[in-house]
Structure 1
Amino acid sequence: MLLSQLPEDVLYHILSCLDYKSLCRLSQVCKRTYYLVNRDVVWRKIAKECLNTGITRSGTDIYPHIPLKERVKVAQNWCDGVCKKTIPLKWKTKLLPWLQLDRDLLFLSQAADIGAYHQHQGTGRLHRSPYEIYSGHKGDVCRFVLTDSHLISGGSDGKILVHSRKSDMSMELSGHNQEVNCLDSKDGLIISGSRDRTARIWTLNSSCTRRIIPMYDRVWSVAISPTSSSFVTGTACCENLSPLRIWDVERSECVCNLGSQFRRGAGVLDMVFESPFQLFTCGYDTYIRLWDLRLNPRKCVMEWEEPHDSALYCIQTDGNHMIASGSSYYGVVRFWDKRKTECLQFFQLSSDPVSSPVYCLRFSSSHLYAALATSLHSMDFRQNHIHIR
């Protein structure tokens, strides 16, 4: 029997065992093999082993509208550090900006306002002027989060503003008496943390605080579990308390402390849930840590150390093998492969004598955006580095 006479499901199974170079060569044999090789089912196994292809460890596809073959091509550039760097936005006053991505929109906080910028379709470049501005704070915006229906921001004025993304309606939540350093929202639940040494639990349908939790330390970061039944707080670690604690939402009680070997001042600046039982954290002690919340006791199972002894301000993961981190000096962004302990790639975005931290970074399948004190940097990884025809 000729290869072309085999049933398609058998052919797909055979093709899924090949590496990408073999698939590229095979695609040039004839029109039929070209058609077969370009199907997502052929590339799925390879994509799961690459960095930032949008296939999570659980098998979910984050970017189903982009062919897997194209994503594997771009993934090689992420791994090899091949990209085009630009600075789409600059400003004169030094700020502590924050950003979020939502499909083709980029949201960036600058002082008291949050601008929503369209990305040019197919290029990833930003329009210079925001198509919409969210305002209302009397001080700088410290953090903000996006949901499908709302933009929720916390400011140095101690207030939380809830903006509807579908209308001009907004709501103010007052309670903190110092700046709101961090917040998170999921399924109508809002958790905020402040310099006033409290964490607060809110709901979207009420302007009143549901619970006030004394923290006895400044709160730098919070993250709600994907199940919405618990949340984690990260503090400045200036008191004799663990900076990482898990809280039950309904009972507002501490479930457990994570770790006990933090030195004084090793505050936790950012954290990301990758699943209900996997939590990534980073901060002043220069480490990225992976915590397994299934174990008893819950403990750190992997560590990645910033090699230049810089505090880590922010992290982001692709849900599978890749971590991106932003350092406190010279705008350094690093890529890490979770299967290795050493840094995979690094990029220095700032050349100023007075360095700026990377306050926030976010990435899509093809672009990474990093917010520094006076500029927004973009890295485009869709370069012609590996030829897949």
Structure 2
Amino acid sequence: MFLLQLPEDVLYHIMSYLDYRALSRLSQVCKTIYHFANRDAVWKKIAKEFINTGITRQGKDLYPHIPLKDRVKVSQNWYHGICRKEVMLKWRINLLPWIQLDGDVLYLSQAADIGVYHLRPDRGRLQRSPMALFSGHQEDVCRFAVTDTHLVSGGSDGKILVHHRRNGFSVEYSGHNQEVNCLDCRGGLIVSGSRDRTARIWTLSSNFPRCTIPMNDRVWSVAISPTQRCELLCCLGSEFRRGAGVLDIVYESPFHLFTCGYDTFIRSWDLRLSPRKCVMEWEEPHDSALYCIQTDGNHMIASGSSYYGVVRTWDKRQTRCLEMFQLSTAVSSPVYCLRFNTSHLYATLATTLHSLDFRQGPRPRRSHPLPQTAVGI
């Protein structure tokens, strides 16, 4: 009772000496302390130290509506690999699925179609049937990109389709002579790469290529810089071992990008340096090709490997990976694509869509049903 009679500024000062574990335990003492200890002002100091992943990007708070206590908990779960794994969707045949996130909506390509699903993170699953379906390719969709108004897809049939997200109207571009392996769209520009050894630049307003760039080999990955400058800056290097193809490119800023590929490395490039060079490398420990990467714009990188659906998380300030998540043990499949938001990571394998929920730990194994109880966090 004496503790509750103290002025609030004194309580704030006392709680400033506690770490996040002690604060969590203190909040279970009674309802009054629970409500006081959950205030953002109490967690502000701890949040500055412990929030590393998915919450702040380049100094900007992206989720002001989420209490700081919950954000610290989720951040620590990310850092220590504490999550609940769920299989959200299955299909019977092997595919090369691609996904994109847009808020609480997930876009998923399956064969020649792209389905639009509403996410239900609280249940760890998608809605039963897609809200919308985009189709038009004669063969499988290889890549697609989502903008505010359009969905642009490239397929094994060599076609590029531009779908209007609201009315579903589609326009077919003349495309490539062979399959479109990669594609990106930003600010009205479309860049595509193909097995026919060319990269092409398009605009949303015209279905004829604005520019065709001959390449020396198949094009596996493309990305448009945030500055959208159409000029050859440099070659990022050619002194790599044979077969070191780049499978994914991610721009984090106009001057900073990440690559990964067959040679098992994630590389960070600084385009402000002259000559442009790799400033950091992270090597996949099991010598597996890396099919996809994503960054949070802060400290974390997530990568998908070529065997048994292995997803790894990395801290840019360290050289070794933080955690490894093996999504498949029975079937060896690459992680073809992964995306994450504040609390969830989604990854696609050949026959499944998986989610990792970092708001809570794994489901306990029970030999018999137990009564549900309320537990304070």
Same fold (TM over 0.5): yes
Q: Deviations over 1:342-380 (max 9, x none)?
A: 11110111122x511000011121111110011111111
Alignment partner, residue 256 of structure 1? 234
Unaligned runs of 5+ in 1: 230-248
Deviation at 1:63, TM superposition (A): 3.1
Q: Kindly state the Cα deviation for residue 43 of structure 1 after the two structures are TM-superposed.
A: 3.2
Measured after TM superposition, the shift of residue 175 of structure 1 is 3.1
- Indicate the residue corresponding to 2:199 in structure 1: 199
Question: Which among 349, 353, 357 is matched to residue 372 of structure 1?
Answer: 349
Please state how far the C-alpha of 1:42 moved relative to its aligned partner: 4.5
Check 1:17–1:312 CA distance in 2 against 1; reply closer, same or farther (3 A cut): farther
User: For 1:256, what is the secondary structure of its paired residue?
Assistant: coil
Q: Out of 266-275 and 79-88, give the one that drifted further.
A: 79-88
Residue 123 of structure 1 corresponds to which residue in structure 2? 123
Cα 1:19–1:202 shift into 2, 3 Å: farther
- What residue number does 1:73 align with? 73
**2 CA distance for matches of 1:15 and 1:223?**
47
Give the alignment of 1:1-389 within 5 angstroms.
Answer: 4=7, 19-21=19-21, 23-24=23-24, 31=32, 34-35=35-36, 38-39=39-40, 42-43=43-44, 46=47, 49-56=50-57, 58-120=58-120, 122-229=122-229, 249=230, 253-352=231-330, 354-383=331-360
Q: Aligned-pair RMSD on alpha carbons?
A: 2.7
Q: Is the 8 A contact 2:154 2:180 kept in 1?
A: yes
Contact 2:84 2:361 in 1 (8 A): no
Give the distance between the partners of 2:100 and 2:351, measured in 1 at CA.
Answer: 17
Percent identity, aligned pairs only?
65
- Superposed CA deviations along residues 68-99 of structure 1, whole A, max 9, x for unmatched, are 32121112112222222121211111111101
Alpha-carbon distance in 2 for matches of 1:275, 1:88: 32
Q: Is the 8 A contact 1:48 1:55 kept in 2?
A: no
SS at match of 2:342: coil
Q: Tell whether the 8 Å contact from 1:124 to 1:367 is kept in structure 2 after alignment.
A: no
Q: Which amino acid aligns with 1:329?
A: Y
For 2:217 and 2:44, the matched residues in 1 are separated by 49
| In 2: Cα distance, 1:315 partner to 1:307 partner | 16
* Range moving further from structure 2, 129-138 or 30-39: 30-39
The runs of 5 or more residues in structure 2 that have no matched partner are 363-374
Alpha-carbon separation, structure 2, partners of 1:271 and 1:48? 30
Cα deviation, 1:96-124, whole Å, max 9, x if unaligned, reads: 11011111111110100001111126334
In the alignment, the residues of structure 2 paired with residue 298 and residue 3 of structure 1 have an alpha-carbon distance, to the nearest angstrom, of: 59
Contact 2:134–2:168 (Cα < 8 Å) also in 1: no
The structure-2 alpha-carbon separation of the partners of 1:140 and 1:47, relative to structure 1 and needing over 3 Å to count, comes to farther
Q: TM-score if structure 2 supplies the norm length?
A: 0.87
Contact kept? 2:23, 2:37, Cα under 8 Å: no
In the TM superposition, what whole-angstrom CA distance separates every residue of 1:234-281 from its partner, at most 9, and x where no partner exists? Answer: xxxxxxxxxxxxxxx1xxx42201123212211000011111121110
Q: Is the 1:53–1:72 contact (alpha carbons within 8 Å) kept by the matching residues of 2?
A: no
Distance 1:15 1:274 in 2: 37
TM-score, length of structure 1 as denominator length:
0.84
Counterpart in the other structure of 1:234: none
Which residue identity does 1:344 align to in structure 2? L
Distance 2:186 2:266 in 1: 24
Aligned partners of 1:116, 1:60: CA distance in 2, in Å?
Answer: 29
Distance 1:88 1:282, change over 3 A: same
